[in-house]
A and B are shown apart, each in its own frame.
Chain A
Amino acid sequence: MGKIRVLKKSIKFTVRSKRRFIVFLLIFAIVSSFVTFFINDIDTLQTDLYLEQKGLILNQRNEFSVFNNQSTRLLNEILDIKASGGLEAVENYAVSRYADLDAGLRIFSLDVKNPWMNADVNPSLIQQGKYPSTANEIMVPTGSFYFKSTSNNVAIKSDIVVGQVLEFFDGTDLIELTVVGTFDTSKMTQINVDVKEKLWIFLHDTTYDSMLDLYNIDEDASYTYSMSFVVPGLILSETTYQAINDLNDGIKVILSENNTDSYGIWASQAEFLPLEDSVKKATNTLVSLGFAVIGGIILSIMLSYLISRFRRREIAVLKALGYSNGSVRTTLVGEVLTTSISGFFVGMTLVQGILFYTSDFKFDNLLRWVAFLASFGIIVLITLPGIFLISRKILGVSPSEAFRDK
């Protein structure tokens, strides 16, 4: 109970010495924002590189459609491929399908649990709102659409915006879909975006099937435009790279057997980024992070040094008043942590703000929790050397110093 009160008071009194507190808080905020920024970079690197480094994408060739039953057959073959170690080559996969429900409506399936596995429409394309995460959330391309009627050539042009609810009703069943995001089609490479004569809806796998049911569309009228596979292992590792090569070779063998009838016709595999390039990209960010961390460590040591040097007398007085080394440590460490953690929150808010105003995509793509927690952990780690220094210095202060002449 006593220790907790010492800590609570320490926090309270730290905040009270406004000038000292604010100066160090701001310095910590700057360091924290750098750390947070680079951590966020590493975090997005992780997702950006996810498919590049761990994944293989198999795309439909534009002029040929791959039927659902063909892709399912091929998928089963690919899942049987073993890597050189004899283990399963595929750790995870996603199948992207599409179907024309009528002349004015095309739906695309999304594996919302693995958004980064979709070769063409991943969360980085989001312009407004967010990537769908539940069964009745959908996203659509940014811009207007022509709703074409089936019977004649008249079309209605309209915008679809985030927040809008689309209802599909066949007289008995109702499917209600909410637009949660719009995305930029110009960066898509696989889906042909020339004609906007249809409304495009990107939705959850299971809702995709419900929509086929609602429109009474046969499974055979649903096509697969892309499949992506992810191999086990860490990104940027040599073994993962080897596994990708194994998987690639395996797929080539299957597709070269001239089984176009049973598997459909697929485009040749895109090249994947050379390992060295990705490593270089990652290293640059890591080096920057390293500098930020070193800066932070220097700062925390500086603050701790200032405290233990210029407030030596206060330490001596506390000891004379009967504080144990531990209680003095709690008091001073509380001060350092209060300053650094408050600084962290200020810095983080700063980064959030910068991300918010500079990035095209909003909400979901601000700092992720992982990045937030990692940055927080690093800031706490950064203060450890300072805390260690303070603890050492405290031992060297004799309570009798309180009696010495100033």
Chain B
Amino acid sequence: MSMEVIIEAKNLGKTYKRGRSEVVHALDDINLKLYEAEMILLYGPSGSGKSTLLNVLSGLDNPTTGTIKFSGDDITEFNQKQLTDLRRNDVGFVFQAWELIDNLTAVENVEAPMYPESVPSNVLRTDAITLLRRLDLLDREYHYPKEMSGGEQQRVALARALIKRPKVIFADEPTGNLDSETGHLIMRLLKTVCRQGTAIIIATHDEELREYADRIIRLHDGKMTEERV
């Protein structure tokens, strides 16, 4: 059985200008394939370009050079609307600081990405609650973010990323603000999601999490090396 390629990046480069003359090569000649149901862990010291790579691969930011095929389409050629549609339909994000919206309850935070869509509200509610229960957040549906622990909030954020059934989830240091035990809980949940077909790329510092990876990519000054597990 061959797995479908979801993202194929070729010769990616990203440079930032700093000040008048200094140029930072945040990404330098990155070549990468991401398959469905695959989990990639992205390691590298601070400033090595992990976040930049996630941004570029997910279409949040444009690379300076290179191409990115997403399900066959080159997203570096996409216009604003196509990029919005990509985010609407195919990608989910999990952030280091969760980024839940304060005055929305857990279930509303999960539903939020779907508010602009034409899904009936009751169907949406059922779906969101089912997701929260799957992530072991029974009885937390109507709590506000500030009433929940970090791990609980991160699970809400994961449910929010999953509600659209994305093809890929991009997670930037999803365990960075959590204690080790909770971090492992989140990783196990991500792994389950991944096994069900969603590709996941995680940027992290935490070497303890190696065991969850299908593949490990290391970045150093924007250059990548791949490591078998």
Q: Interface on A for B, CB 8 Å cutoff? A: 1-3, 5-6, 9, 13, 16-17, 313-314, 317-325, 327, 398-400, 402-404, 406
Chain B residues, CB < 8 A from A314: 101
Q: 16 interchain pairs (CB within 8 A)? A: A2-B116, A5-B116, A6-B115, A13-B101, A13-B103, A16-B103, A322-B84, A322-B89, A322-B113, A324-B88, A325-B80, A325-B84, A327-B115, A400-B55, A402-B93, A403-B60
Chain B residues, CB < 8 A from A320: 60, 87, 93
The count of chain B contact residues (Cβ–Cβ below 8 Å) is 30
For the complex, is B187 an interface residue (Cβ under 8 Å from A)?
Answer: no
B87 in contact with A403 (CB, 8 Å): no
CA distance A266 to B50 in the complex (A): 96
A323 in contact with B104 (CB, 8 Å): no
Q: Which of A9, A322, A327, A403 contacts B172, CB < 8 Å?
A: A403
**B38 CB → nearest A CB, Å:** 21
B54 in contact with A5 (CB, 8 Å): no
Question: Assuming A1-B118, A5-B115, A402-B93, is B101 touching A317 (CB within 8 A)?
Answer: yes
Closest to A16 in B: B103
Question: Assuming A324-B116, A406-B97, is B164 touching A400 (CB within 8 A)?
Answer: no
> How many pairs of residues, A versus B, come closer than 8 Å at their CB atoms?
73
CA distance A325 to B79 in the complex (A): 13
For the complex, is B121 an interface residue (Cβ under 8 Å from A)?
Answer: yes
For the complex, is B112 an interface residue (Cβ under 8 Å from A)?
Answer: yes
Chain A residues, CB < 8 A from B115: 2, 5-6, 9, 327
Q: Which of A319, A322, A325, A402 contacts B95, CB < 8 Å?
A: A402
For the complex, is B160 an interface residue (Cβ under 8 Å from A)?
Answer: yes
Residues of chain B from 38 to 71 with CB closer than 8 A to chain A in the complex: 51, 54-55, 60-61
For the complex, is B227 an interface residue (Cβ under 8 Å from A)?
Answer: no
**A331 CB → nearest B CB, Å:** 8
Q: Most B CB atoms within 10 A — which of A16, A313, A322?
A: A322
Closest to A1 in B: B118
Chain A residues, CB < 8 A from B95: 317, 402-403
Q: Which of A13, A319, A327, A403 contacts B104, CB < 8 Å?
A: A13
For the complex, is B77 an interface residue (Cβ under 8 Å from A)?
Answer: no
A321 in contact with B113 (CB, 8 Å): yes
Per-residue contact bits, chain B 94-134, to A (CB 8 Å; 1 contact, 0 not): 01010101111000100011011110010000000000000
Q: Most B CB atoms within 10 A — which of A6, A320, A406?
A: A320
A322 in contact with B88 (CB, 8 Å): yes
